[in-house]
């Protein structure tokens, strides 16, 4: 490991789509690939599985709900590589449809990881992204569905080109607060905590891409959100229509956009195609 080495990193990568993204990057990315997981034992087991296939990912612990854990990873990347070339924010959670946990708790827990955890990783690691770096936030078309099911007033806010990160954070907090007070439907929110959390990820991606455009235009960093589709994973369930390999295709495509590419940037991409927002 040296600071001249390129490095790619995937969050939530001990299983599912994240695991396959790491496998594909090990095969196709010229540099080190870091597999991260919240649980060290599971993460190391995943690395061993890939080593048995002749690949050589590295492991680093990361719990995106823990700011100290994110900062330890940040310091490791800065020290060993002088930055980061590819970041794939894949870590996320979802409650099963049949789960009887009260909706307001589902909303709080889902939002904490999927939106706020992802945002914290971006806050700490985006400053490390090297010129021509690539950032991929794994979102979901359920986020787009959630947007369609919001009130017109909320839709207008989420689609607004001048919405700031602080405004978005306030909206995400309001959703959780409204579920606690059992007024979320009256306030114009849909009934999907997962959908609203992923709507947050997509809108956050648009805001962060805009900021990169303003502050680091010459560095030609491309940041996008993507929808992997309905994939057979612990999260997607056994009835899903896509294999994990198919789910990993678009995130890997965005992670490996060629150095001279200028787009997509700040988009939601599904099946390698930019989606209307």
Domains observed in the chain: 7-96+112-140+198-275 (3.40.50.720)
Q: What is the pTM of this model?
A: 0.95
What torsion, rounded to 10 degrees, do the Cα atoms 177, 181, 185, 190 define? 40
- Quick: pLDDT tens for 181-206: 999 999 999 999 999 999 999 999 99
What is the DSSP secondary-structure string of 105-150?
HHHHHHHIIIIIIHHHHHHHHGGGEEEEEEEEEE--HHHHHHHHTS
Please state whether beta strands 268-270 and 273-274 pair in parallel, antiparallel, or not at all (unpaired): antiparallel
Nearest to 15 by CA among 39, 46, 41, 40: 46
Q: Compute the residue count for the chain.
A: 277
- Quick: pLDDT tens for 228-251: 876 666 666 667 678 889 999 999
Q: Rounded to whole angstroms, what are the CA distances from 14 to 37, 85, 120, 152, 262?
A: 6, 21, 20, 39, 31
164: confidence class by pLDDT, cuts 50, 70, 90: very high
Please give the structure tokens belonging to residue 225: 């959100």
Residue 96 vs residue 204, higher pLDDT: 204
| Bridge partners for 36 per DSSP | 60
Mean pLDDT, the chain, as a whole number? 95
**Which residues does the annotation mark as catalytic?**
194
């Amino acid at each position: 490991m040296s600071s001249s080495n390129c490095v790619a990193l995937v969050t939530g990568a001990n299983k599912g789509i994240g695991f396959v993204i790491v496998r594909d990057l090990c095969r196709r990315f010229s540099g080190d690939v870091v597999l991260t997981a919240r649980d060290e034992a599971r993460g190391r087991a995943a690395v061993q599985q890939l080593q048995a296939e002749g690949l050589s990912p590295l492991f680093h612990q990361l719990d995106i709900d823990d700011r100290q854990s994110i900062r330890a990873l940040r310091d490791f990347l800065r020290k060993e590589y002088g930055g980061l070339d590819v970041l794939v924010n894949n870590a996320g959670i979802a409650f099963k449809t049949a789960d009887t946990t009260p909706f307001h708790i589902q909303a709080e827990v889902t939002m904490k990881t999927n939106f706020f955890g992802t945002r914290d990783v971006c806050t700490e690691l985006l400053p490390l992204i090297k010129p021509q770096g690539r950032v991929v936030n794994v979102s979901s078309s359920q986020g787009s569905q959630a947007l369609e099911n919001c009130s017109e007033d909320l839709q207008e806010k989420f689609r607004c080109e001048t919405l700031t990160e602080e405004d978005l954070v306030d909206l995400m907090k309001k959703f959780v607060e409204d579920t606690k007070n059992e007024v979320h439907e009256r306030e114009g929110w849909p009934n999907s905590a997962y959908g609203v959390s992923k709507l947050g990820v997509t809108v956050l991606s648009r805001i962060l891409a805009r900021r990169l455009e303003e502050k680091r235009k010459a560095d030609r960093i491309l940041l996008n959100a993507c929808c992997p589709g309905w994939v057979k994973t612990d999260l997607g369930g056994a009835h899903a229509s896509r294999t994990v390999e198919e789910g990993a295709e678009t995130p890997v495509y965005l992670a490996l956009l060629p150095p001279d590419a200028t787009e997509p940037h700040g988009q939601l991409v599904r099946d390698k195609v930019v989606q209307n927002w």
